[in-house]
Structure 1
């Protein structure tokens, strides 16, 4: 058996799933050989940026549970995984070379040995922030169904909602990773756009940075039905759903005939043992409302078209993307938990190291 050179072994801080049910995370440090094992086709990377996404909460439950139904659950005692941006340190895969900047599925750890390189992509456009590849510029494959905010917003809004100039658009969790983009896409098309968020800071962001026509703090609105009637006296054509529960119930009362609802997420329900019921479903019939769930892998074939659409707008400053940066791997668990109390402003990203 070949001996391991001590200089090729590095300390590797990791975020570990302690057990199912509670989904409690902790940070530990192990060691890792800083070289791809002989006979392997793997790629060794140093992680730079990690994406925090609400779907990850469902993966802290056993595979087969309703909340972890379309991706395999995390494994207790192992690092959790997600989208990240990284730098290649060593590679046995001819498609990747030392020094390449890449993004894809990686571990929540300082270094990752990636064996499934089908989920790894070289970064071609480096004139935009690298962290954008955890969000607005993230790509996916047909079997990779986690949330990529840019493609989710693009596919959900343009493909599911079939928007038209002048229509009335409402977006919940509108300052989040997806909502902020949907609102900007709608404004570029000439729609009237209102968003809801959970703080004055976020409401100001929607109106002053993202260009929404209006916005409100849902925490200050005890009667959401009345609130929506105030902002949409003629009703809502398009609702981009990120929250669920009471918000969805109120929206159903305010949709126009032949309105469209894109169900992207229901973050208010993810930590509930018993999800809230929705009482106003008859309005789907009364107003012939079309509601469709979004799984972003349905739109992976549109990625080249999406890049052609979005990159010029980013470079020209016509689309802005706000990120909430948490520094250091130790901050990762708190950043992920904070998604469910609305603590983040914009796309939540964890910086492991800067390139």
Structure 2
């Protein structure tokens, strides 16, 4: 337990991110903890699209990922040593331990660690459906789109960790859920397992006319809310089909994460349809996390909120798994298993 393996960001991408941007290093853990510290052994770490934006040295809602330091990100694990009265050896915890096997945490700092129960919710789910992705879905749907019963909600990246939760939460509220995903397998999962009303395979629609026609068939009464994770052609098509006073929760724009521009083809539709478009960062709304997590944990624990995980084995697999995530190779939540 004296050696800790970490993955650092050692260079910034010039366009598309590559494996050489990362490097694994070995570090030594302290032999003894200071008062108030705990040692956490990470069981799983989270890979998320937002990490790509933080690899750039550019102004954004969060500071860039520092070079030659541990890649930052969410983790779940177990306390293996403690000098804090708040945590005991064996406690299961959620934190932001980053891409590494262990972390020494100052347990006295607010928000550093949160104890969780695995009685009804698997530990890995606290990085997905009952974690940041789930809360992201909950916030964008309930606070921005706020669908009424019978309205139609369109969700891009519908088979992913966030999108899959959006559609199911919309269905709980009596709305229609229509997904966009890549490939027949993912679309079948979205409809048959997650319960969406329809799913559009974006790979079958290479131009705006074709995509818009597919949306017209899937959303015969128009679109009242869009949960946008991708941007690009799908958003252009959605704007053409939106009802007056529709709402767009802008969560991600993965189509532009490598730096290429993604202009809107018809931005005037925002005006003519009197649309509300709001970007949001879920970490800026911590006051609502308890409410969201309570609903999400209840739905997962009772089997009413389904999710899927793609799990890479071992820390060394993290860079390639992350690059695959950016290209849509994952199915559901992308995790790295460390234990």
TM-score strictly above 0.5: yes
**Contact kept in structure 2, 1:35 and 1:90, CA below 8 Å:** no
- Per-residue deviation at 1:83? 0.4
- Cα distance in 2, alignment partners of residues 193 and 127 from structure 1: 27
* Matching residue of 2:38: 43
CA change 1:286–1:232 in 2 (3 A) is same
* RMSD of Structure 2 on Structure 1 (CA): 1.8
What does 1:1-355 align with in structure 2 at a 5 Å threshold? Answer: 10-22=2-14, 24-33=20-29, 35-38=31-34, 41-62=36-57, 65-66=58-59, 69-115=60-106, 117-118=109-110, 119-138=112-131, 148-222=132-206, 223-272=210-259, 274-353=260-339
Q: CA offsets per residue over residues 293-338 of structure 1, 9 Å max, x none?
A: 1211343222232233233322221111111111111111111111
CA change 1:318–1:37 in 2 (3 A) is closer
- Per-residue deviation at 1:106? 0.3
- Per-residue deviation at 1:25? 3.9
Structure 1 consecutive aligned stretches of length 4 or more whose deviation exceeds 3 Å? 21-27, 34-38
**Contact kept in structure 1, 2:13 and 2:21, CA below 8 Å:** no
**Contact kept in structure 2, 1:323 and 1:347, CA below 8 Å:** yes
- Cα distance in 1, alignment partners of residues 334 and 220 from structure 2: 34
**Contact kept in structure 2, 1:20 and 1:60, CA below 8 Å:** yes
- Cα distance in 2, alignment partners of residues 192 and 97 from structure 1: 45
- Cα distance in 2, alignment partners of residues 166 and 339 from structure 1: 33
Q: Secondary structure of 2:75's partner? A: strand
**Contact kept in structure 1, 2:2 and 2:31, CA below 8 Å:** no
Task: Note the residue ranges of structure 2 that are not aligned, 5 or more in a row.
Answer: none
Q: CA offsets per residue over residues 120-155 of structure 1, 9 Å max, x none?
A: 1111353211001112222xxxxxxxxx11111111
**Which moves more between the two structures, 73-82 or 239-248?**
73-82
**Which moves more between the two structures, 232-241 or 301-310?**
301-310
Q: Secondary structure of 1:248's partner? A: helix
Q: Secondary structure of 1:260's partner? A: strand
Q: Secondary structure of 1:325's partner? A: strand
